[in-house]
Amino acid sequence: MTTSEKQAIDHPTFALVKATFPSSTFQATQFRDQPTLIVEPSDLHKVMSFLKNDENCCYDFCSDVTGVDYLDYPAKTQGRFAVIYNLCSYSRTDRFFVKVFLDPSLHTDGIENDPALVVDSVCDLWPGVEWPEREVFDMFGIRFTNHPDLRRILLWEDYPAHPLRKDYPLRGRGEREDYRIVDRTSS
């Protein structure tokens, strides 16, 4: 076991989460001194609430929420998509990452409203994640239950796809051809 692996196993937040939720399944990892807890989607909200409210954890700020598409990733992953939360504890100047893997239930292009691509929103815990969750929804199509205003934030409502998915064509699907050209004389 390397020193980095030992540090990941000995991270105090990992032990607190495992002790609090003994019946839940977790994975823990650490890369470049950044700990990551991998959580099942059904356990996400209660674990995040614990990480925020427990006096020994006190991750009082969620600085970012992002998505990842692992399509054609060389290593095996637990799902095609992941939602990653970057938590900060200001009292300890500590960062902690929480990751949730999601695997689409339909293996076609029609995964727009896939019930497997849903995870609980944490807007009730950190109101500042409202827009990052909307961005993950817009770019990857992952929906957040109990989100106060889940709609596209970067693209228009009728946009036909989610452009940060790796199966999205690099040149688009013809959206650019429909743009009205605006020049200086158009106003």
- The predicted-structure confidence for 99-126, as pLDDT tens digits, reads as follows 999 998 865 555 567 888 999 999 999 9
Of 85, 152, 72, 167, the residue nearest 119 (C-alpha): 85
- Pick among 3.30.300.20, 3.10.310.10, 3.30.70.600, 3.30.460.80: CATH of 3-178: 3.30.460.80
Cα–Cα–Cα angle for 64, 65, 70, nearest 5°? 130
Q: Taking 60 as the threshold, does the pLDDT of residue 56 lie above it?
A: yes
Of 125, 104, 130, the residue nearest 115 (C-alpha): 104
Q: How many CB atoms lie within 10 A of CB 154?
A: 11
Tokens (6 digits) for 187? 């106003």
pTM of structure: 0.84
3-state secondary structure of 31: strand
**Intra-chain end-to-end CA distance of the chain, in Å:** 66
State how far the alpha carbon of 115 is from the alpha carbons of 73, 85, 133, 146, in Å: 23, 21, 17, 15
Tokens (6 digits) for 161? 């796809």
Give the lowest-confidence range in 6-10, 89-93, 149-153, 154-158. 6-10
Domain chopping of the chain, boundaries: 3-178
Q: Taking 60 as the threshold, does the pLDDT of residue 81 lie above it?
A: yes
